[in-house]
């Protein structure tokens, strides 16, 4: 399960787990709302649309982040609702719907934020991520979408500047089974990020080719049960990589 929790029959715990999940999600989204307003500014302006594909100086790194969050939140929420006792299909539906609604509301807030704006490409990548998350939940595969950072940096929960955004690499990884099968911990990855030219302003696209692992995959080699508990940490990709610049 993406949340790292094994589901249980609803009859064993009644609705208590569902209330726990619902309560934690409500508190979590309230905190996220407050953080977005502190980081990106108040959403009290007039509705407007921004050119997010080529007008944000991020060379589609922002769109890649929206793909990641749509994918990861869908899988995580679905796993949590499954732990709460929902049947598999319903948990996927609720998890995907919650992810899509939450990410759409973020764009609505941006649309009324004078410093932001509604990003059409952001919305499309949000929904693509949600669709990919639902597909991999119902059709298990050996590839997934992950992230990593280039260097340790001090920042808020969300990136406030272009340079903070540049610090993230967004990966599509594939874990070949090889001779160890499910316990094989290594994944191959292709990643995307951005850096700046010497002037500190002009963006330069980077492609990364890496080999690495995640904490759950590593723990699975000697403690499969513990790896399930750590499943929610599967999004972070520890890796060694070669970087190619695309101009």
The string of pLDDT tens digits covering residues 166-198 is: 999 999 999 998 888 888 999 999 999 999 999
Domain boundary, last residue among 125, 140, 155: 140
Mean pLDDT of the chain: 90
Looking at the structure, tell me whether residues 152 and 167 fall in a common domain: yes
CB 169 within 8 A of CB 193: yes
Looking at the structure, tell me whether residues 159 and 199 fall in a common domain: yes
If you average pLDDT over residues 69-76, what whole number do you get?
A: 97
Looking at the structure, tell me whether residues 155 and 118 fall in a common domain: no
Tell me the two tokens of residue 118. Answer: 């509604």
Element (H, E) at 65: helix 61-83
Taking the C-alpha atoms of residue 37 and residue 160, their distance in angstroms, rounded to an integer, is: 11
Domain boundary, last residue among 140, 156, 176: 140
Looking at the structure, tell me whether residues 161 and 128 fall in a common domain: no
Q: What's the confidence (pLDDT) of residue 93?
A: 97
* Domain range for 228: 142-247
Number of domains in the chain: 2
Looking at the structure, tell me whether residues 232 and 183 fall in a common domain: yes
Q: pLDDT tens-digit profile of 193-214?
A: 999 999 988 999 999 999 999 9
Greatest CA separation for the chain: 62
- If one compares 222 and 11, the residue with the highest pLDDT of the two is 222
Tell me the two tokens of residue 226. Answer: 């513990």
Looking at the structure, tell me whether residues 115 and 149 fall in a common domain: no
Looking at the structure, tell me whether residues 100 and 2 fall in a common domain: yes
Tell me the two tokens of residue 140. Answer: 């298990």
Tell me the two tokens of residue 36. Answer: 């977005």
How does 122-134 read in b/e, with b if 16+ C-beta sit within 10 Å? bbebbbebbebbb
Taking the C-alpha atoms of residue 81 and residue 105, their distance in angstroms, rounded to an integer, is: 21
Q: 151 by DSSP, 3-state: which?
A: coil
Q: 196 by DSSP, 3-state: which?
A: strand
Looking at the structure, tell me whether residues 100 and 193 fall in a common domain: no
Q: What's the confidence (pLDDT) of residue 1?
A: 46
- If one compares 56 and 66, the residue with the highest pLDDT of the two is 66
Tokens 């307003």: give the residue. 37
Taking the C-alpha atoms of residue 10 and residue 91, their distance in angstroms, rounded to an integer, is: 13
Looking at the structure, tell me whether residues 176 and 108 fall in a common domain: no
Nearest Cα to Cα of residue 215 among 194, 236, 193, 243? 236
CB 225 within 8 A of CB 159: no
Looking at the structure, tell me whether residues 6 and 105 fall in a common domain: yes
Taking the C-alpha atoms of residue 28 and residue 98, their distance in angstroms, rounded to an integer, is: 13
Element (H, E) at 56: none
Domain boundary, last residue among 89, 119, 140: 140
Res. 5 pLDDT band, cuts 50 70 90: low
Looking at the structure, tell me whether residues 237 and 181 fall in a common domain: yes
Q: What's the confidence (pLDDT) of residue 52?
A: 83
Nearest Cα to Cα of residue 173 among 149, 153, 148? 148
Q: What's the confidence (pLDDT) of residue 163?
A: 86
Residue 50 phi/psi, 5-degree rounding, is -110, 155
Looking at the structure, tell me whether residues 102 and 189 fall in a common domain: no
């Amino acid at each position: 399960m993406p949340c790292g929790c094994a589901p249980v029959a609803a009859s064993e715990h009644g609705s208590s787990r569902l209330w726990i999940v619902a309560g934690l999600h409500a508190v979590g989204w309230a905190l996220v709302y407050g953080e977005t307003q502190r980081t990106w500014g108040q959403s009290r302006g007039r509705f407007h649309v921004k050119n997010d594909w080529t007008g944000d100086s991020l060379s589609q790194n922002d769109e890649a982040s929206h793909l990641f969050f749509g994918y990861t939140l869908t899988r995580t929420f679905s796993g949590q609702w499954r732990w709460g006792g929902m049947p598999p299909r319903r948990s996927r539906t609720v998890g995907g719907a919650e992810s899509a609604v939450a990410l759409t509301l973020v764009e609505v807030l941006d649309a009324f934020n004078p410093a932001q704006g509604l990003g059409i490409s952001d919305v499309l990548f949000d929904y693509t991520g949600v669709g990919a998350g639902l597909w991999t939940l119902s059709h298990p595969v050996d590839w997934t979408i992950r992230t990593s950072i280039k260097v340790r940096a001090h920042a808020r929960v969300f990136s406030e500047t272009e340079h903070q955004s540049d610090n993230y690499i967004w990966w599509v990884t594939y874990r070949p089974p090889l001779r160890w099968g499910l316990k094989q911990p290594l994944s191959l990855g292709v990643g995307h990020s951005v850096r700046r030219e010497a002037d500190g302003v002009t963006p330069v696209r980077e492609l990364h080719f890496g080999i690495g692992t995640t904490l759950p995959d590593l723990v699975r080699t000697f403690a499969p049960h513990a790896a399930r508990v750590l499943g929610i940490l599967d999004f972070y990709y520890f890796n060694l990589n070669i970087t190619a610049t695309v101009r």
